[in-house]
Chains A and B, each alone.
Chain A
């Protein structure tokens, strides 16, 4: 990935360009210190003067009203301009000054709209940070840096618009809007901090300072990356709207960096200091205002995506190169418009340009399926087995099949489309999961075919969710969502279950990144410095003890600090180290083969494979799968192979039960699904067994309730209760039991007879 820089022959501004800002479309506005505001059209390359500022007024910062605020399209026609005389001005698109407000003593250095467009923050030379309403009424003065008298050079909103990030000297400060909350403050740099930016997508902060370094922080102030010192102070930093990368500007320097900090490309244009950087909405172009009056445009090209044997490279803005490594063939795909986003996987390449969406099958590069897009700013494309999802930062989500048919456009009330990104969306061929954009503890589950939410209310987790991922195979009702929360715990949940939260299981802690396998339901993750693969994560619903046995791990020291899993295809897993390099690691191919056998129910082959490989993890996953399929013979063999004697015993006991309902109930019990077991028994008319189940579990009240309800074995329950109390030397404390024990006499011989009779009956059935 790199920048393709274009810069005019002659500077269009006479003075320094102190601020630039993109409109929703392809237009860029730039303000120069000579007082003129210019409009640049990137499609035609035209430049037009919009207006002139009065003499003695110099611009310092500008911000366009956010466009994605629902229903207020007209409001996006205006921007706010901070000037060095301490005022800010609301200016319409055609250059009319709607309103001017006295804001600061000294210059207004930084100005930003909140993400929802409700409020405005300004930072001034007087060291104050002020919050304003949309119409320019002062709401509060958030901070006053009195002690040093230092100006606040940069300010940014937090992802939820509830926090303000600003720089004061060498300090970086995060201040929540609520007045009582304490600010988080840390020393960021050795020099004056010139610019800060906070990405709403990945929640990371980037800062640039006069100590000539840029640094990446997380929202707790932990340093994730620090650059080497440059030759000149860093004057500007800016996150791309999709959160994948950021741009850094300094004197005659423009860098493109990955979100983890390492640098994709470095350009040395002859521009003077780049004072301001702004990304276009589709994250393909960045514009910079330069010290010598130029406005620099830099397009992101040379992005590369890989899938199996295919490599797709964005050669130029409109040209894609598809390379087949196996056949050594190359295809060049040319487009009418700028390529915004592309995604490769599941035998398809999906490309969105600024007006169209093109679907290529990997077997045929000549005839794509083309349809026009509603939205113009695709921020992500997610592929699943039979369909794909286009995320538009203005229009929201739309799900299409690979035939180009729109399946649905899921949405929930209060959706904030600009915050949607790869981390908070999970899609499979039947289910879609979205993390709520306001409260990331909540997540919405959609059925894709109908486009409706499965539950009335979103599901709530105790902590904020960080990443979500859905498995792609298996029965729809058993669809599993894997997610990590703020504590880095990995959970699995069967989201299409009637009571999903009962199926929430924790797989492990300290998980930073996870990825499902492409052809089976294997799950890979990085857990506490180890690369871990669960061969069959659903074992957690079958036999919790099997879960640790069915996972394998290897040391992840070779992947460095904080790697990310990029892909998990076949028996290769690719990870990206924090320095940007890709590392592949091999995973055993046997679990894939085993799962294939199991899906074809060829159990004998599966057993033979396991015997051949002699791997405990493989046996454990086979045991879990066989138990899930109620294939008792195989389960018995598998359990025996991993030395689970008591389970083998129990399975052979189950095998001896002749009654089918009873056997199923015992299987459920084996999987520790007591409720299910009881239900199965009652449905099969085996009341005595149900009562006995509850007695064995010491659930006396339930046993009595069942006995009373079915009017049998009340005395049995009472007898066992008495025996239990006697053994433990306790007194009866339950009123219900004392009441019944008065009414009914307990006689062990009759009870024994009754029990024998029941067992006889059962055998007779």
Chain B
């Protein structure tokens, strides 16, 4: 009896010890893997896998339902990355490239008036930050899908957007860009955009975290390959879909 007790006990605790060693070893190994965009490779692969799953499951008919923002609410400004104080809406141009890998693809240089002449969409929406907070907002602008249609751009798998100084840049899958609530917005909460909120033109994409909602867009291009993305390069999930 005592011998059996001892044998089973020893065996089980040896297994537990082995389990602990394997677990700590695996975790340490995982964390020490070379980084891909500031994330150890296995973690990055899981982020990409999660992104692929939710991209495959993406249903463009699902909308963000949100009440209008409270009146006179001052919108939260969470970052000024890529923002320039000296943008003059009169001189500002939106540079659009139909295919960034094809020199013969259509190239547009648009004024704010050009964009305001396109069909206008008003939208109550919710901006959700990757940090965890969210805010009800209203925006007016042109749907990206209307914009693509108006200028007869050929859709490509990815869209890249950049600020004028190039310090902030995002890339988004085309399905999310063509979502009916994705706007190139020039008004916010019933008034023209302020510079710190992204004037003259900003992306509003409520199916993504706020990190994709680029302010002060200067350049938009479509691409067959995934363009660089500022926050994905800094450890965040590239898809960032909600």
Task: Report whether chain A binds chain B.
Answer: no
Chain B interface (Cβ within 8 Å of chain A)? none
Chain A interface (Cβ within 8 Å of chain B)? none
